[in-house]
Structures are given as structure tokens and as C-alpha cells.
Amino acid sequence: MPATPDDLFARLDELGIEVETRQHAPLFTVEESQALRGEIPGGHTKNLFLKDKKDRLWLVVAPEDAAVDLKRLPDAIGSARLSFGKAELMEEVLGVVPGSVTPFAIINDTGGRVSVVLSDELLGHEVLNFHPLVNTMTTTIGRDDLVAFLKAENHAPLVATLPTVDAG
């Protein structure tokens, strides 16, 4: 069974990481999140579950408004050609469904199949916001605490400058 939000909160508490969580209507897109989140401070994100042609899995965490260039991303993160991972694979490995993708889902990747990439731009925010495994809540966590959580789950992140479609 995949971890529940309560399991996640217990793990964060065990690690001494304080978070703040707000409940809301289900959100499936960045646009819905922007409209319904209210005034939650900090960096807001999009999370891309990707698979490369060598079958390596990636979770790329970017600012919500970033137009990540998937054709140039492999050079930035050291992967083969990338495409979006199927929903079934995401559910199998990360224990979440589309619309709920989050770096917190690494708690379910006990096999270490997913490499986490954090945007260096996103890490310019002191606090970050993610769904806590479900899209009916938003959890605010300190940037350094997120990195500590990922390391504690044996998923030390790669921090990279993500190429964008707008960039030359």
C-alpha cells in the first residue's frame, strides 16, 4: 500500500520537519491551483514524471510557470531522451495519480527507481508548496527541509538549471 498523507506527515515529524498544510477542493492543473490556492506564500511548482529511453525514471520539480524544454532537458540532467511517464507507472512507483505528483511521493519509491531533479530557480524560494500525496491539500515546507526529506528517503536531489522553451 502506498503511503497516505498521514504516513507522510508522521515521517516528516519523525525527521523533525515542520510543515503547514491547507485543505482545498481537488486541483488538477497549475491554472486551477493558481485560482484556488489563495495567498499561500512561497514557491509553487509543477512536477513532471518522466521516463528516458533507457527506462530511467525522473521527477523534475520546476516553478509552476516554467515551460521546460524536454528536448534540451537531457543535457541538463544527464539523461537519455525523455518523455512523460505513463500514469500506471507513476502509480506503481510513486503511489500517486496524475494531478497529485509531488516530491513527497518519493516516500513510496523504496526501490530507488526515480531520480529527483530540483530547479535551481525554484530553490530561490525559502518555502515551497506541494500536494502531500493527494490533490485536496497543499503543504508548505522549507526549501532546506525538502532537501533533507529527500536525502532521508535516499533520493538526494540533483539541482539543475532547467532549459526552457523561451530560452535561446
**Residue 77 in domain:** yes
For residue 133, give every residue at least 6 positions away whose Cβ sits within 8 Å of its Cβ, in sequence order, or none: 2, 3, 4, 5, 8, 95, 96, 100, 102, 104, 105, 107
Total of domains in the chain: 1
For residue 164, give every residue at least 6 positions away whose Cβ sits within 8 Å of its Cβ, in sequence order, or none: 66, 67, 68, 69
Q: Which three cell numbers stand for residue 120?
A: 535551481
**Residue 15 in domain:** yes
Handedness of CA 109, 112, 115, 116 (dihedral sign): positive
DSSP 157: P
What's the predicted TM-score (pTM) here? Answer: 0.91
CATH number assigned to the domain comprising residue 14 = 3.90.960.10
DSSP 33: H
Written as tens digits, the pLDDT of the chain (168 aa) is 899 999 999 999 999 999 999 887 776 666 666 665 566 788 889 999 999 999 999 999 999 889 999 999 999 999 999 999 999 999 999 999 998 999 999 999 999 999 999 999 999 999 999 999 998 899 999 999 999 999 999 999 999 999 998 644
